[in-house]
Structure 1
Amino acid sequence: MFTVLSASAVAQEATVQGLIIGRDGPKMYVQTGDSPRQIVILQDSTRALQKGGFFSGKKDLGVAALVPGLEVKVDGSFDPDHELVAKKVEFSKSSLKTARQIDAGLNPVNAKVASQGDQLMSQRRDLDAAGNRIDEQGRRIDEHGNLIAQNGQAITATNGRIGQLDTYDEKGSITINFRNGSAVVAKKDKDALEDFVKNASSMQGYMIQVQGYASKTGNAAMNQRLSSERAGNVLTIIQQSGAVPLTRILAPAAMGTTNQVADNHSRSGQAQNRRVVVTVMVNKGITGGPDAAPATAAAPAPAPAGQE
């Protein structure tokens, strides 16, 4: 739904309601009832307000909370290019929870889903060309179809998020490891992280992605909380470095115990799984494709076994 509230010779004040379908730094794309894509310009002064209950009022979470899949109402004014410069963006707590679940779920699997879709198409062509393999190919199609169906609702809700992410190249990442049960970033890791984001900030069209993880020791609720706190603490360091504006940071994702990179039966393996991964992604359309120079940073070594 798109509603124009008032207009003047200087600026046209407006309110837009719809679904966030993409982010590109300070530009946010919103699908409304009248337009498949309304460009919204975010600023560091833009307020991102989560609406609470009857007594809790509104909470300003910052523009990093504006992720694809979020239902929003945007108040602002149109610039000469008919792009809406946002003064404030409002959204409900339940919509934010859903959007973050979609964001956390799709970040690690969007490439897999796209790959599975390609495999499914290939398998269907094989069925037409090779009738003697119908039974085997049919079984594989069912397996891929079930997995794609499980992600179908999230893909539909974001309405183009995968296509948006496909416009980015991953240019480098840094991994921060943590002690058992802790979300405190060590000083050496803090220094390395600040160097990494300063290097990333020199690129055109970049976005910073932060994902927190936990090992599978302890209960699920504690691990989810730890992954969230670790991601949040790393995000705070990035913001305090002053090298990266808020509009270039995606909302931190608490990934819990997903994507374990080592065996949890050993202390060294658990130490590798207690981590935050910070990734810099660069827009292909701005940089001209995958030939742009990558950001590099040495990943800190896992905590020694004696420091568990």
Structure 2
Amino acid sequence: MSFVSKSSLIVLAMLALPASGSLAAQSQDPEGGLETTVSDTSPQMVEGPEIEGIISARSGDKMQVTASDGSKSVITINDDTEIRGRGGFLGLASKERAASSLLNGLPVNVKTLQWGNDLVAKEIKFRNNDFKTAAMIHNGTDQRFAEQTAATEALRGRMADIDKYNIKGTTNVNFDTGKAVLSPQAKQELCATAAAAEEMDNALLLVVGYTDSVGSQEYNQMLSEKRAGSVVNYLQQACNWKPYRMLTPTGMSESNPVATNDTVEGKAQNRRVEVNVLVSKGLDGL
């Protein structure tokens, strides 16, 4: 003869509970014993606080926002996060471009959801003119600040000790003259770089495009940006790198050559895009 103990019945009742939600279930002893109540205690997603401040660190799918009173909040970004730019020159047309625009030093307003002790970004808003300022600081173009306001200078000061990274590795992919088309080898190298970065904790990618010295400054600036854009698109679409784990791509024209532009071989090396794997020094426990 086989039998089921009272304790076994209670365990079976617990196994039959739904996997999610805050529903409670009851098991009744068939012999009239005490009734046992079992509840799912997993945390529920609820409305969280609205946080306003500047992005003071980026780390993988997380960002740290520092408020004006110095308090810091660590917020997770996911595929459902809405990212919006308001006014100014950008007109962010795609979610990928918006996500990659979350620069350190950018003032943001974040609506959050609370998941246990963690915060998840429901919506992130920023002013496009603030992004322009943060991007200028990020790219080190200090000469452009001459016509900016006192508010710009204040933001510049806040950025001074924030935008610091450890470079874990750099991959260069090269292009034909006047072209922004990725070669099969470049595609392979990009996905290999993304896979290696995925194995690192809190890694971000920074993509910078360059040209050789052939052509005008205006043309080369446009071409360097186009090359950086080609790399970003491939990393996101083919290599599955999340846009919120990428800093804003940059075109640097013919600056920072890695070889002489006086030879065919040197020019070929300079027609490149650098993919830098970064980890922020200011993570503060992210």
Query: Equivalents in 2 of 1:52, 1:284: separation in Å?
Result: 32
Q: What TM-score results when the alignment is normalised by the length of structure 1?
A: 0.65
Matches within 5 A, 1:277-296: 277-282=274-279
Query: Which residue of 269, 273, 298 corresponds with 2:270?
Result: 273
- Does the Cα contact within 8 Å between 1:210 and 1:235 map onto a contact in 2? yes
1:111: which partner in 2? none
The structure where helix makes up a greater share of residues is 1
Equivalent residue number for residue 15 of structure 1: 50
Partner of 1:33: 68
Q: Is 2:130 the counterpart of 1:95?
A: yes
Match of 1:202 among 188, 199, 202: 199
Matches of 2:92 and 2:239, distance apart in 1 = 30
Aligned position for 2:162: 161
Q: Distance in 1 between matches of 2:162 and 2:243?
A: 20
Report the number of matched residues: 227
The answer as to whether partners of 1:22 and 1:160 remain within 8 angstroms in 2 is no
- Once the 2 structures are TM-superposed, how far is the Cα of residue 276 of structure 1 from its aligned partner? 0.4
Deviations along 1:181-235, whole A, 9 cap, x unmatched? Answer: 2111112211222122223322333222211112232222221111111111101
- Taking only the aligned residue pairs, the percentage that are identical comes to 32
Q: Match of 1:225?
A: 222
Alpha-carbon distance in 2 for matches of 1:285, 1:53: 29
Cα drift, residue 178 of structure 1: 1.1
**In structure 2, what residue type is equivalent to 1:270?**
K
**Structure-to-structure mapping, 1:133-172, within 5 angstroms:** 156-162=157-163, 164-165=164-165, 168=166, 170-172=167-169
Task: Give the direction of change, closer, same or farther, for the CA distance of 1:234–1:68 in structure 2 (3 Å limit).
Answer: same
Deviation string, structure 1 residues 88-128 (Cα, Å, up to 9, x no partner)? 1111221112222222228xxxxxxxxxxxxxxxxxxxxxx
Instruction: Point out where structure 2 has 5 or more consecutive residues left out of the alignment.
Output: 1-43, 142-152
TM-score, length-scaled by structure 2: 0.69
Cα RMSD (Å): 2.9
Higher strand share: 2
C-alpha contact 1:177 1:274 (8 A) present in aligned 2: yes
Partner deviation per Cα, 1:235-288 (whole Å, 9 max, x = no partner): 1111123443333222212222321112222232222111101122356899xx
Aligned twin of 2:82: 47
Contact 1:198–1:243 under 8 Å retained in 2: no
- Secondary structure at the aligned position of 1:62 is classed as helix
**SS of 1:230's equivalent?**
helix
